[in-house]
Amino acid sequence: MRLAVLIVCFVMVPLLAQSPADPVDWNGWLERGIQAYKAGRYQEAVDAFQRAVDLNPNEVNSRLYLGTSFMVLYIPGSDSPGNREFARRAEAEFEMVLRLAPNDVTALASLASLSYQEAQGIKDSDQKFRKFDESASWYEKVVAVDPQNKEAYYSIGVIDWLKWYSEDVKARARLGMRPEDPGPLKDPALRRELRERYSKIIEDGISKLQKALDIAPAYDDAMAYMNLTIRYRADLADSPEQYRQDIGLGHLVPHLKHRRHRLPLDRPKEVEGEEERQERECSVSGLPATFSSPI
């Protein structure tokens, strides 16, 4: 009799370890993950999507959802080992998707957005802009696959503007010019040097923003950055007259005055509130690069 009881207990242990409500296949785990994600239970979503991937490793959607969940958990600017691991796991999943489906736009755009977020948390300017370049290269791959992707063109334009904006701010500080002082930059030699280094970047940014506007003429964020790029380019003008002309040209770019345009911030965010996290779900992190979540 005692032996029979032991046998029953041995058989029941694995059954008790698995809830009767647990899904029986990868699709069931995928659905459970989606529901957890929508409810804001991101770690639970990760666990469910991981089970779906384990059961069907070649299913692209499961890996996209898993990478998306890791990406939402990632907090730009936080350098904790756990946070870096979220970024690493997200990157690994999206790269695996590209091995299975090389032209998957969501995976390409997600890698671009992730690189942008990581760049924001880097303090060293050279490393920061190398990461921005990595982001831009992913966005170039997006438009190669999807030439009508306005967000990708816009995002490249924003990265180009960031490069010039950062250098222009430093140049003004070096010359003792305040942000509100009229231009151009006072030192002709410095202007020539910066034109040689940044003219192609500035013009590429304007070109990419124009492409975004060609696709979506009412794209107000693209209008705003087009305005900024042209106006900051004016600091490289040869004369005050040309400077004023460029400033006026920037103002000719129509934009929606009542919309709050958030410029990219260089300072990292060590702590993120729930409101910011919710905003990031719609446009992962609220960065200029919009993100198309598969969920």
pLDDT tens digits, one per residue of 26-59: 989 999 999 999 999 999 999 999 999 999 999 9
pLDDT tens digits, one per residue of 160-192: 999 999 999 999 999 999 989 999 999 999 999
Q: What DSSP assignment string belongs to 10-74?
A: HHHHHHHHS-TTS-SSHHHHHHHHHHHHHTT-HHHHHHHHHHHHHH-TT-HHHHHHHHHHHHHH-
Report whether pLDDT(132) > 70: yes
For the chain, domains (ranges, CATH) are: 19-102 (1.25.40.10), 131-263+288-292 (1.25.40.10)
Q: What DSSP assignment string belongs to 98-150?
A: HHH-TT-HHHHHHHHHHHHHHHHT--SHHHHHHHHHHHHHHHHHHHHH-TT-H
User: Residue 82 belongs to what H/E stretch?
Assistant: helix 81-100
Flag the least confident range among 60-64, 181-185, 275-279.
Answer: 275-279
Average pLDDT (281-295) is 40
Average pLDDT (195-210) is 96
Residue 278's pLDDT is: 39
Question: 3-state DSSP call for residue 167?
Answer: helix
pLDDT tens digits, one per residue of 214-248: 999 999 999 999 999 999 999 999 999 889 988 88
Residue 15's pLDDT is: 42
Nearest alpha carbon to residue 254 among 206, 295, 213: 213
